[in-house]
Amino acid sequence: MKTETMRAMCLIGFGGTENLKYCTDLPVPTPDDDEVLIKVAACGVNNTDIWTREGAYGEGVESGWQGENAFQFPRIQGFDIVGRITAVGKQVSPARIGTRVMVNPSIYADDGIYGAAYIGSERDGGFAEYTTVPSQNALEINSSYSDAELATFMTSYMTAEHMLNRAELSANETILITGASGGVGSALIQLASLRGARVIAVISKGKEAALKQFDIEGVVFRGEQEISSVIRKQIGISCVEVVADIVAGEQVEKLFDLLCVGGRYVTAGAIAGPMVTLDWRKLYLKHLTVLGATMGTQADAKQIVAYVAAGKIKPLLAGSYALDELIQAQRDFKKKKHFGKFVIIP
């Protein structure tokens, strides 16, 4: 019997969690000609879900990713979709039905990543029993990992892979990674290690035990004032070739100090705050390169799927929640006491 209605968590306005409404009788969406319908098995929780709900992407105005006029309510959020295709549009091969997929949430624009819209932001996402996505965004995956484990990967790891590609990180270089216990930070650790780089992780005290499962050269606790001396004591170096920063805030100038001459600083977030102070002379006197990275390309997404299928990266599942527990999941997420990713199971 065909299912006609579904459950979903609907965002009805910018602001607090009171704007998340549990809906039980929404119509199951119908795929357009070039789309597929996915029965959602799991969907990861990200910072972006919370920042979008809070309207934090605007400058002086509440806004979603693409601006205040691009976001419409009600909206079903959820970027990291994993599930199986149950129906296809007219232009999609029926052979895709039944395929297990991981979804690249990026809807690329003519100018590429910069102008991209995102599934879960500019269109409905995976905090629901069903969702539709363009067929090209539904990437087939063959893996023994559970659905919840697969839902820990795409957004964080695609972002991390794009950061490392932008920074051109290579084997035998040393990279310092901030926010190493979060989704993107822990992804950076695994992906940088795959490239043969030496990894130094910046992490809050109390979470260092979780790093023992990785090939880590050094550990710096968040808030450390003398980062270079800590690193020198641990691994005998005084500077690093690459800093991958997703935290920003007051620490940025110390991170620039830590870079070797000709070093690269790449960022994809500002958890500690978007406003920074920097002695601009350090940038040109040390011949530094500063790089921004937003989400990732289709090639990055396919590379992550390939890594997962080959078992080269492992899931870091911090916890699973039912669909109607999304508010609690976001509250727990904001406490920042976990290591890895939270996942919603519809």
Residue 309 falls within a domain, yes or no? no
Q: Are residues 182 and 260 in the same domain?
A: yes
Could you list the residue range(s) of the whole structural domain that residue 133 is in?
5-152+315-345
- The three-state secondary structure class of 187 is helix
Task: Answer with the one of 277, 292, 307 that is the final residue of a domain.
Answer: 292
Identify the CATH number of the domain in which residue 252 sits.
3.40.50.720
3-state SS of the chain: helix, strand, coil percent to 5? 30, 30, 40
Write the DSSP string, 74-123. Answer: SEE--SEEEEEEEEE-TTS-GGGTT-EEEE--EEEETTEEEEEEEBTTTB
Q: Are 58 and 67 within 8 A, CB to CB?
A: yes
> Would residue 229 count as lying in a domain?
yes
Q: 9 with 138, same domain? A: yes
Same domain, 215 and 102: no
Q: Give the closest residue to 172 by CA, choosing from 187, 190, 192.
A: 192
Where is the domain boundary, 252, 277, 292?
292
Decide: residue 107, CB within 10 A, 0-12 exposed, 13-18 middle, 19+ buried.
middle
Each residue's pLDDT expressed in tens, for the chain with a length of 346 residues = 466 999 999 999 999 999 999 999 999 999 999 999 999 999 999 988 998 898 877 666 666 666 655 678 999 999 999 999 999 999 999 999 999 999 999 999 876 787 888 999 999 999 999 999 999 999 999 999 999 999 999 999 999 999 999 999 999 999 999 989 888 999 999 999 999 999 999 988 877 788 888 888 888 888 777 788 888 888 888 899 999 999 888 888 889 999 999 999 999 988 888 888 889 999 999 999 999 998 999 999 999 999 999 999 999 999 999 999 999 999 999 988 888 899 999 9
For 247, residues 6+ apart whose C-beta sits below 8 A from its C-beta are 178, 179, 202, 269, 270, 271, 272
Whole-number pLDDT of residue 58 = 66
Residue 21 domain-assigned? Answer: yes
Task: Centre a 10 Å sphere on the Cβ of residue 271 and count the other Cβ atoms it contains.
Answer: 18
If asked whether residues 162 and 148 sit together in one domain, one would say: no
- Give every CB contact of residue 281 below 8 A, 6+ residues apart in sequence: none
Residue 284 shares a structural domain with residue 337? no
Helix, coil or strand: residue 311: coil
Q: Rounded CA gap, 201 and 108, in Å?
A: 32
Q: What is the DSSP string of 246-289?
A: S--GGGHHHHHHHEEEEEEEEE---TT-S-----THHHHHTT-E
CA 132 – CA 209 distance, rounded (Å): 40
Q: What's the pLDDT at 269? A: 84
The answer to whether residue 73 sits within a structural domain is: yes
CATH number, position 30:
3.90.180.10
| Inter-residue contact 78 to 127 (CB < 8 Å) | yes
Give the pLDDT score at 69.
59
Tally of domains within the chain: 2
Same-domain status, 94 and 23:
yes
* Planar angle of CA 53, 56, 59, nearest 5 degrees: 145
- Report yes or no: 36 and 96 within 8 Å, Cβ to Cβ: yes
pTM, two decimals, is 0.91
Instruction: Find all residues with CB under 8 Å of 280, minimum gap 6, and list them.
Output: none
pLDDT for res 22: 98
- For residue 206, being part of any structural domain is answered with yes
Indicate whether 243 belongs to any domain. yes
Residues 38 and 147 in one domain: yes
Q: At what angle do helices 154-167 and 183-194 cross, to 10 degrees?
A: 50
Q: Distances from the Cα of 68 to the Cαs of 11, 14, 61, in angstroms?
A: 15, 10, 7
Q: Could you tell me if residue 132 is inside a domain?
A: yes
Q: Clarify whether residues 248 and 182 are in a common domain.
A: yes
**In this predicted structure, what is the pLDDT of residue 68?**
58
Distances (CA, A) of 206 to 46, 202, 272, 331: 22, 12, 19, 20
CA–CA gap between residue 128 and residue 130 (Å, rounded): 5
Amino acid at 94: P
- Whether residue 288 is found in the same domain as residue 328: no
Same-domain pairing of 134 and 164 = no
Query: What is the predicted pLDDT for the residue at 1?
Result: 46
- Both 205 and 100 in one domain: the answer is no
242 and 139 in a common domain = no
Closest CA to 176 of 94, 110, 234: 234
* Residue 324: Cβ-neighbour burial (10 angstroms; 0-12, 13-18, 19+): middle
Classify residue 304: in a domain, yes or no.
Answer: no
